[in-house]
Amino acid sequence: MSEASQQFIADMTAAGASARADGPRILYDVVAVGGALAGQTITTGVSISEVQSWPAVPPHWIHLPASVHFTETNMDETDCAPGYVRHSRDYNYTDTSIRPARAWLSHVRGFISIAIAEAA
């Protein structure tokens, strides 16, 4: 694993989201703070190929269980674990007074908090 990938794992773990490599992706757990999944622990992740320039360049796609839905999203299954899809989500992080891993976690939490309830 590249130095940047190891750094991403270390930074996420230090930020409170214990991260581990899993094939072509890195997984970590996040507790949803709002929306349809509020209070639930969600295992999410990123493609390892997307953290090769971490922390200068953050990842883009967010891996989530296929059971998590959004009103508007681009998604595919590249690098995803079985039962997962990854969602494209613009990330406009510019504040370098915040640790990059903390900023990324806030972004992911924000995204998960707008998940909608699965249609019956």
**Residues forming the site for other proteins (CB under 8 A):** 4, 50, 52-60, 72-74, 88, 90-100
Cβ neighbours of residue 47 under 8 Å, at least 6 residues apart? 24, 25, 59, 61, 63, 78, 79, 86
Query: Which residue, 95 or 118, is less far from other proteins as judged by CB?
Result: 95
Query: Which residue, 14 or 38, is less far from other proteins as judged by CB?
Result: 14
Pull the structure tokens for residue 14: 């230090």
Query: Which residue, 38 or 57, is less far from other proteins as judged by CB?
Result: 57
- Residue identified by tokens 């891996």 is 63
In the complex, what is the shortest distance from the CB of residue 112 to other proteins, in angstroms, rounded to a whole number? 17
